[in-house]
Amino acid sequence: FLVLEGIDGCGKTTQTEHLRQWLPKSGLMPDGAELLVTREPGGTALGRALRELLLHPPGEAAPEVRAELLLYAADRAQHVAQKIAPALEQGHWVLSDRFTGSTAAYQGYGRGLPLALIEQLAAIATAGLVPDLTIHLDLPLAESLRRRGHRPADRIEASGEAFLARVSAGFSALAQQGGWVTVDASRAPEQVSRDVQQAVQSLLMPHG
């Protein structure tokens, strides 16, 4: 179970696509195993409805901070139960664009909700499921804002630079944990892809 994390503009979409193409041909996956590529929020039908509410809420429907946290948890509970856990149980591999790390970074470090509360909620939503590897695509905030350019911001991105700076610092702190690998995402996509591949290979062949 592999997860890509990082602030907006860090290249998660590009690296997800790279892994989608590389992993099945890499020789790392067992025979018969398929790769499920998914994302949060929005990896299920319920999740897609929640994603709209979270990122593009109509009028006065914008959730309060704790409501926002609970909506992300609801999306994750459905995602794990409907897609991630069944795939893993069948021996398939799962690659997710965002998981519990994003909630800790955005709602914890960014919004200021207690990390202990977020961990507790994550344990309930995931039924204790933890990624085998989380890759943090590390990008300076200024570069993230430059890459976003004039693209319209969703509700989370529009929370302001100070908020995004706290989120960025949060990812850096989280990436010190076991099970996380940090990759410098400010370089050319091919260089980033090489390091991402290496991180996955090291997980499976630690002495290779």
Least confident span in 78-87, 143-152, 183-192:
143-152
Distance CA 176, CA 157 (A): 24
Q: Whole domain around residue 112: which residue ranges? A: 2-204
- Looking at the structure of the chain, the number of domains it has is 1
CA distances from 37 to 51, 157, 171 (A): 17, 24, 22
Q: List the structure tokens of 147.
A: 């890459």
Query: What pLDDT, on a 0 to 100 scale, did the predictor assign at position 206?
Result: 66
What average pLDDT is seen over the chain?
Answer: 93
CA distances from 65 to 104, 106, 159, 170 (A): 13, 10, 12, 17
CATH code of residue 145: 3.40.50.300
Least confident span in 55-69, 108-122, 194-208:
194-208
In the three-class reduction of DSSP (H, G, I as helix; E, B as strand; rest coil), residue 123 is classed as helix
CA distances from 67 to 15, 71, 89, 109 (A): 31, 6, 31, 16
| pLDDT tens per residue, range 2-43 | 999 999 889 999 999 999 999 999 999 999 999 999 999 999
pLDDT band at 208 (very low <50, low <70, confident <90, very high): very low
Looking at per-residue pLDDT, the higher value among 172 and 143 belongs to 172
Distance CA 183, CA 59 (A): 38
| pLDDT tens per residue, range 159-187 | 778 999 999 999 999 999 999 999 999 99
